[in-house]
Amino acid sequence: MIGVYNIAIMKAWMWAGTAVLVARTVGPPPLANNHGELRRGTPERGQRVGAPQLANKTLTAVPGIKVGHYTLAERPTGCTVVLIESGATAGVDVRGAAPATRDTDLLNPAKMVEQIFGVSLSGGSAFGLSSGDGVLRYLEEKNVGIVYGNRHIPIVPGASIFDLGVGDARIRPTADCGYRAAQAATSAPVTEGSVGAGAGATLGKMAGMERAMKGGVGSAALEMQNGLIVAALVVANPLGDVIDPADGRIVAGARNASGRGFADARRIVRSGAPRGRSGDNSTIGIVATNARLTKAQASYLAQMADDGYARAIFPIHTVVDGDTVFAIATGTRSGEADMITLGSLAADVMATAVIRAAREATGLPNFPAVRDLPNPPAVRDRQ
């Protein structure tokens, strides 16, 4: 079910009064693991029952996957590139009504191409899709891709979030951004927060942009006793609030008039009176596993992972969200894949990644992050 029925639905870029921001300079992200800096009580990721925990609790916990960011210096926006140079089976689930995507049609199980070599995530709305060109160029130079005669055709699907309302809309990620992010890609733990495609991400826009908070990049990974690894990476930029499904509490979201607490998007919806609906949205992400899957199973995995969005974001999949989930299976772990377990874990790990995206973000002027709130909500341990 790819791109379900989005034909008749117009992209509605509705803007709430967006403040003109002072562009923040964000250099290329450090490659070092940032997990030494995790605050006490952050969600426990990479749990492995009866075995040591995964050292890497991010998307790169799946062997063969590299991730790189490039953040523009001129404005908070950028690219996040996932590379699978040995190729992977992939699928996609596009459920938001305002998507910006490329090469998603070929992921339909009825289509020919069986392997992809990268996924390009970016800011910049439809303009940002150009970043994929740079990833193709990088991979072609390294002779990665489907072999065609003496050429390689790298297959790199991509998606972009709408962040044009954060700073100067004329500054967008280009092919150069994608190329540099691909160059920076490593198998080290993924840097999270206000970086790469998440540099300009915001969330909690149900009470207008002026009450929104900062979103970003989040990642999480789980390893089961039998060696199955499931991991997720997300660029969280939703209209809705981020909610911890374990207790129903808001992690980050639309702020109330005092700015000290949350307005609660669930309450806003139930009152029937949402004010100032913003079009500056889309949550885009990827789940990955070392399981060996068919293309149809990978599509199904993406669909299941989308439940993670539903659980950790309220509301989600709206007319002004372009929510997209890619799924990739590297197949380095042999043995039969149990789709019920795998899909359920994918949804779980995606929900954790969304929460991490909110918690690890750093604020921008007018867009405070969770860590900037006067009374940050209590952080609970996730088992």
Residue among 27, 52, 248, 374 that touches other proteins (CB under 8 A): 248
**Could you give the CA distance from residue 94 to residue 327 in angstroms, rounded to a whole number?**
11
Strand intervals (E) in 123-164: 146-148, 151-153, 158-160
Select the span of 20-28, 77-85, 110-118, 241-249 touching other proteins (CB under 8 A).
Answer: 241-249
Give me the least distance between CB of 296 and other proteins, in Å please. 10
Q: Which two three-digit tokens encode residue 319?
A: 């007319």
The interface mask with other proteins, positions 67-106, x = CB under 8 A, is: ----------------------------x-x---------
Residue among 336, 374, 375, 378 that touches other proteins (CB under 8 A): 336
Asked if 176 and 124 touch (Cβ cutoff 8 Å), the reply is: no
CA distances from 307 to 3, 6, 131, 197, 317 (A): 16, 19, 28, 22, 11
Asked if 216 and 56 touch (Cβ cutoff 8 Å), the reply is: no
Residue among 310, 332, 333, 379 that touches other proteins (CB under 8 A): 310
Asked if 217 and 192 touch (Cβ cutoff 8 Å), the reply is: yes
Which is nearer to other proteins, 197 or 302 (by Cβ)?
Answer: 302
Q: Is 271 in the site for other proteins (CB under 8 A)?
A: yes
The CA-based angle 360-74-253, given to 5 degrees, is 30
3-class DSSP assignment, residue 236: strand
Residue among 257, 272, 374, 375 that touches other proteins (CB under 8 A): 272
Rg from Cα positions in the chain:
19
Question: Site residues for other proteins, window 110-169 (CB under 8 A)?
Answer: none
**What letters, b where the CB count within 10 A reaches 16 and e where it falls short, cover 66-87?**
bbbbbbbeebbbbbbbbbbbeb
Give me the least distance between CB of 229 and other proteins, in Å please. 13
Q: Is 258 in the site for other proteins (CB under 8 A)?
A: no
Give me the least distance between CB of 340 and other proteins, in Å please. 5
**Could you give the CA distance from residue 338 to residue 152 in angstroms, rounded to a whole number?**
33
- The separation between CA 107 and the C-alpha centre of its own chain, rounded to angstroms, equals 18
User: How big is the site for other proteins, counted in residues (CB under 8 A)?
Assistant: 53
**Could you give the CA distance from residue 231 to residue 247 in angstroms, rounded to a whole number?**
22
Which is nearer to other proteins, 34 or 281 (by Cβ)?
Answer: 281
Residue among 245, 253, 285, 331 that touches other proteins (CB under 8 A): 245
**Could you give the CA distance from residue 209 to residue 212 in angstroms, rounded to a whole number?**
5
**Could you give the CA distance from residue 376 to residue 108 in angstroms, rounded to a whole number?**
43
The CA-based angle 30-175-35, given to 5 degrees, is 20
Segment holding 339, helix H or strand E: helix 339-360
Give me the least distance between CB of 97 and other proteins, in Å please. 6
Residue among 8, 112, 147, 257 that touches other proteins (CB under 8 A): 8
Select the span of 109-117, 149-157, 298-306, 366-374 touching other proteins (CB under 8 A).
Answer: 298-306
Which is nearer to other proteins, 175 or 269 (by Cβ)?
Answer: 269
Which is nearer to other proteins, 295 or 311 (by Cβ)?
Answer: 311
Which is nearer to other proteins, 352 or 362 (by Cβ)?
Answer: 352
Q: Is 343 in the site for other proteins (CB under 8 A)?
A: yes
Select the span of 124-132, 137-145, 154-162, 224-232 touching other proteins (CB under 8 A).
Answer: 224-232
The amino acid present at 77, given as its one-letter code, is T
**Could you give the CA distance from residue 363 to residue 191 in angstroms, rounded to a whole number?**
16
Asked if 16 and 356 touch (Cβ cutoff 8 Å), the reply is: no
Select the span of 116-124, 132-140, 197-205, 316-324 touching other proteins (CB under 8 A).
Answer: 316-324
Q: Is 205 in the site for other proteins (CB under 8 A)?
A: no
Q: Is 1 in the site for other proteins (CB under 8 A)?
A: yes
Residue among 57, 277, 295, 359 that touches other proteins (CB under 8 A): 277
Q: Is 52 in the site for other proteins (CB under 8 A)?
A: no
Residue 11 per-residue DSSP state: P
Binding site for other proteins (CB under 8 A): 1, 4-5, 7-9, 47, 49, 95, 97, 222, 224-226, 239, 244-248, 266, 269-274, 277, 300, 303-304, 306-307, 310-311, 314-320, 336, 338-341, 343-345, 347-348, 383
